[in-house]
C-alpha cells in the first residue's frame, strides 16, 4: 500500500520503517531538512535497537523515502499518518499546532480519497477538529473530495520500539460509521494484516474511545510508578524493603510485576505530558482527576529524591563535592533526554555548588544538547559538568556515585574498581539495581529508594 508518514521522529520513523519492511511504499515527510538529509545519507538520528538496519535496507530498496516536499508527500499516500509532536502548551494541554498544520497541508494538496490517521497522542475530539481543518481547506479550494479521519494511537516503548511495532500487544483503531469511515476501516485492516497473522490484535472502536485509550494507558502506567514511589518513601521511614514488598504484591496476578519499580521518577516525552493533558481535558469538562494530580505531584517530588538523599548525607553546601553520575537518558536503550530525571538531579547538585562527571552508554550527544539548553542562562554551572567516555572515568575522585538510569551495563559493576576510584565508597542508587546486603558485604555505603531495611536474605 502507499503510505505517507508526516513527522519522522521516534514514532514516525519506526512506523515508516516497519511498514516498509512488510512491503508497503512509504514516504516519510519531515519539515526538518537536516533530519531528512541525515536519513537520506543513512544516518539514523535516534538510538533504537534494530532501527538502523530496517531503515538502511528499506531505503536502499526504494520502499522508504525521506523528503521535506509536502505536496509530494500528500500525493504519495492513500493513507496519511500524522505522527508529529504534541508537546504540552503553557496550560498543560496538548499543543496541536503541528497536527493541524499537517491536516492543513493534506487539505491543500489532496486530489483523491485519503485516510488520515491520527497516530500522534491527541486529546478526545481531535479527529473531529482535524476533519474540520481539512474540510476548510477543501472548501477554500472550491472542491469536494472524500476522506476519513481515524485514530490509531501508538503504544510502542522507546528502547524496544521496533520489536513493539512488529509484534504489538494490541493495535487500537477508531473509525466512525460513515461510508468513508468504513472504507478507511477496510484499508487499515489490510495495512495491519501482516501484524495480525499470528492472532488478531486489533481492537476496533469509535474514534473518541481510541483517542482516550492512549491517555488511559499512560495514565495507568504513571500511576503504578508514582504509587510504588510513594510506598518506597514511606518504606524508607519505617524500615521496610520495598523490593521485598514488590515481590510480595507483584506475585498477585491481579497486580503483576510490571511497572512496580520504585525509583527516582518517571520521565520521557510521554508520561509527564500525557498525564498533564488528560487532567487538562478533564478540567475542560469541569471534572477533577484527583488521582492523576497526585501522580504528577508525587513524580515531581520523586525526581529530587536522589538529590535530597545526597544533600542529607553530605550537607547543604556541596561546594567542595564532586559526584559521578551513571545514566542520563530517561530510560535504558534510548538516547532520549526529554524530561529525564538526570536533568533534575544535575540541576539540584549544581545549584548546591557540586561538580559532576557524567556517563551514559548512548545518550552523551543528546545529553550535551539537553544540558546546554537547561543551563543556557547559567553557563558557569554547565562548566561544572564533565562528560566522560566511560563509567570508570566518571568515578575518578568522586565523593559518591549516583545511578539514574538502569542500563544493563551498570547492573554488575566491578565493585573493587568503584571502591578504588571513588574517594569514599558511597552509592546512591536511583533504580534499586543492587542488594543492600551485597553492598554492605562489599564495604559500600548504599542508599537505594525504599531500601533502608537490613535485608539479610
Ligand atoms: N516517543 C514515544 O515513545 C511515543 C510513543 C507513543 C506515542 N507518541 C506520540 O507520538 C507523537 C510523536 O512523538 P515523537 O516522540 O515521535 O516526536 P518527535 O518530536 O520525535 O518527532 C516529531 C517530528 O515531527 C516533525 N514535524 C513537526 N511538524 C511537522 C509537520 N507539519 N510536517 C512534517 N513534520 C513535522 C518534527 O520535525 C519531528 O521530526 C506524539 O504525539 C507523542 O506523544 C510518542
Q: How far is the CA of 161 from the centre of ligand 1 (A)?
A: 14
Ligand 1: which residue has its CA nearest to atom 15? 10
SS3 426: strand
Name 205's bridge partners. 174
The number of beta carbons lying within 10 Å of the beta carbon of residue 28 is 29
**Relative to the CA of 155, which ligand 1 atom is closest?**
6
List the Cα angle 294/300/304 in 5-degree steps: 140
Q: How far is the CA of 25 from the centre of ligand 1 (A)?
A: 20
Please tell me the distance from the alpha carbon of residue 384 to that of residue 350, in angstroms, as a whole number. 7
Note the pLDDT of residue 454.
Answer: 55
Please tell me the distance from the alpha carbon of residue 77 to that of residue 113, in angstroms, as a whole number. 10
Cell of 88: 504540552
Q: How far is the CA of 57 from the centre of ligand 1 (A)?
A: 23
Burial of 112 from C-beta contacts in 10 A (0-12 / 13-18 / 19+):
exposed
Q: How far is the CA of 158 from the centre of ligand 1 (A)?
A: 13
The number of beta carbons lying within 10 Å of the beta carbon of residue 238 is 9
Helices and strands (DSSP H and E) totals, the chain: 19, 14
Q: How far is the CA of 242 from the centre of ligand 1 (A)?
A: 36
Please tell me the distance from the alpha carbon of residue 262 to that of residue 249, in angstroms, as a whole number. 13
pLDDT tens digit at each of 457 positions of the chain: 999 999 999 999 999 999 999 999 999 999 999 999 999 999 999 999 999 999 999 999 999 999 999 999 999 999 999 999 999 999 999 999 999 999 999 999 999 999 999 999 999 999 999 999 999 999 999 999 999 999 999 999 999 999 999 999 999 999 999 999 999 999 999 999 999 998 999 999 999 999 999 999 999 999 999 999 999 999 999 999 999 999 999 999 999 999 999 999 999 999 999 999 999 999 999 999 999 999 999 999 999 999 999 999 999 999 999 999 999 999 999 999 999 999 999 999 999 999 999 999 999 999 999 999 999 999 999 999 999 999 999 999 999 999 999 999 999 999 999 999 999 999 999 999 999 999 999 999 999 999 986 544 4
**Relative to the CA of 35, which ligand 1 atom is closest?**
39
Probe residue for ligand 1, chosen from 30, 70, 267 as the CB with the greatest number of ligand atoms within 8 Å: 30
The DSSP call for residue 241 is: B
Cell of 335: 538516547
Ligand 1: which residue has its CA nearest to atom 21? 9
Note the pLDDT of residue 452.
Answer: 84
Q: Which of the following is catalytic: 18, 28, 264, 270?
A: 270
**Relative to the CA of 11, which ligand 1 atom is closest?**
16
Ligand 1: which residue has its CA nearest to atom 36? 7
The number of beta carbons lying within 10 Å of the beta carbon of residue 289 is 17
Probe residue for ligand 1, chosen from 38, 154, 275 as the CB with the greatest number of ligand atoms within 8 Å: 154
Probe residue for ligand 1, chosen from 4, 5, 6, 7 as the CB with the greatest number of ligand atoms within 8 Å: 7
**Relative to the CA of 158, which ligand 1 atom is closest?**
3
CB 116 within 8 A of CB 82: yes
Find cell 492513500 and name the residue.
Answer: 78
Please tell me the distance from the alpha carbon of residue 436 to that of residue 448, in angstroms, as a whole number. 8
**Relative to the CA of 122, which ligand 1 atom is closest?**
41
**Relative to the CA of 10, which ligand 1 atom is closest?**
16
**Relative to the CA of 105, which ligand 1 atom is closest?**
31
Q: How far is the CA of 154 from the centre of ligand 1 (A)?
A: 11
Ligand 1: which residue has its CA nearest to atom 11? 120
Ligand 1: which residue has its CA nearest to atom 24? 7
Please tell me the distance from the alpha carbon of residue 311 to that of residue 100, in angstroms, as a whole number. 46
Q: What are phi and psi of 398, to 5 degrees?
A: -85, 150
CB 252 within 8 A of CB 272: no
Largest Cα span, the chain: 78
| Residues 6 or more apart in contact with residue 70 via CB below 8 angstroms | 29, 105, 109
Q: How far apart are the first and last CA of the chain?
A: 57
Output the ligand 1 site: residues, CB below 6 A.
Answer: 6-12, 29-32, 35, 83-86, 98, 101-102, 120-121, 154, 156, 158, 269-270
For residue 270, indicate whether it is catalytic. Answer: yes
Q: How far is the CA of 83 from the centre of ligand 1 (A)?
A: 5
Q: How far is the CA of 99 from the centre of ligand 1 (A)?
A: 10
Note the pLDDT of residue 165.
Answer: 97
Probe residue for ligand 1, chosen from 155, 269, 370 as the CB with the greatest number of ligand atoms within 8 Å: 269
Amino acid at each position: 500500500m502507499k503510505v505517507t508518514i508526516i513527522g519522522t521522529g521516534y514514532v514516525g520513523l519506526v512506523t515508516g520503517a516497519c511498514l516498509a519492511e512488510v512491503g508497503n511504499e512509504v514516504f516519510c515527510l519531515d519539515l526538518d531538512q537536516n533530519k531528512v538529509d541525515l536519513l537520506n545519507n543513512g544516518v539514523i538520528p535516534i538510538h533504537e535497537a534494530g532501527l538502523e538496519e530496517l531503515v538502511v535496507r528499506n531505503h536502499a530498496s526504494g520502499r522508504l523515502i525521506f523528503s521535506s516536499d509536502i505536496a509530494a508527500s500528500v500525493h504519495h499516500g492513500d493513507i496519511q499518518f500524522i505522527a508529529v509532536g504534541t508537546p504540552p502548551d503553557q496550560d498543560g494541554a496538548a499543543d496541536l499546532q503541528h497536527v493541524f498544520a499537517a491536516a492543513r497541508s493534506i487539505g491543500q494538496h489532496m486530489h483523491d480519497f485519503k485516510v488520515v490517521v491520527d497516530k500522534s497522542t491527541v486529546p478526545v475530539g481531535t479527529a473531529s477538529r482535524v476533519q474540520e481543518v481539512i474540510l476548510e481547506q477543501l472548501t477554500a479550494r472550491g472542491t469536494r473530495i472524500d476522506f476519513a479521519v481515524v485514530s490509531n494511537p501508538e503504544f510502542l516503548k522507546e528502547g524496544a520500539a521496533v520489536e513493539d511495532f512488529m509484534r504489538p500487544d494490541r493495535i487500537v483503531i477508531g473509525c466512525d460509521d460513515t461510508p468513508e469511515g468504513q472504507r478507511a476501516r477496510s484499508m487499515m485492516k489490510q495495512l495491519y494484516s501482516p501484524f495480525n497473522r499470528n492472532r488478531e490484535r486489533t481492537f476496533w472502536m469509535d474514534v473518541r474511545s481510541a483517542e482516550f485509550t492512549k491517555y488511559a494507558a499512560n495514565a495507568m502506567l504513571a500511576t503504578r510508578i508514582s504509587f510504588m514511589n510513594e510506598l518506597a518513601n514511606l518504606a524508607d521511614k519505617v524500615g521496610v524493603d520495598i523490593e521485598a514488598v514488590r515481590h510480595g504484591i507483584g506475585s498477585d496476578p491481579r497486580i503483576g510485576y510490571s511497572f512496580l519499580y520504585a525509583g527516582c521518577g518517571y520521565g520521557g516525552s510521554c508520561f509527564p505530558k500525557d498525564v498533564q493533558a488528560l487532567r487538562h481535558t478533564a478540567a475542560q469538562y469541569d471534572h477533577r482527576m484527583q488521582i492523576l494530580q497526585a501522580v504528577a505531584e508525587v513524580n515531581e517530588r520523586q525526581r529530587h529524591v536522589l538529590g535530597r538523599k545526597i544533600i542529607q548525607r553530605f550537607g547543604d553546601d556541596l561546594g567542595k563535592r564532586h559526584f559521578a553520575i551513571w545514566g542520563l537518558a530517561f530510560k535504558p536503550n534510548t538516547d532520549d533526554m526529554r524530561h529525564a530525571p538526570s536533568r533534575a538531579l544535575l540541576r539540584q547538585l549544581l545549584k548546591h555548588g557540586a561538580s559532576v562527571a557524567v556517563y551514559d552508554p548512548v545518550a552523551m550527544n543528546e545529553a550535551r544538547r539537553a544540558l546546554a539548553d537547561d543551563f543556557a542562562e547559567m553557563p558557569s554551572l554547565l562548566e561544572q559538568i564533565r562528560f566522560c567516555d566511560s563509567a570508570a572515568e566518571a568515578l575518578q575522585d568522586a565523593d559518591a556515585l549516583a545511578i539514574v538510569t538502569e542500563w544493563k551495563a551498570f547492573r554488575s559493576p566491578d565493585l573493587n574498581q568503584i571502591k578504588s576510584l571513588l574517594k569514599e565508597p558511597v552509592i546512591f542508587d536511583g533504580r534499586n539495581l543492587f542488594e543492600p546486603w551485597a553492598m554492605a558485604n562489599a564495604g559500600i555505603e548504599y542508599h537505594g529508594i525504599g531500601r533502608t531495611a537490613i535485608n539479610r536474605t
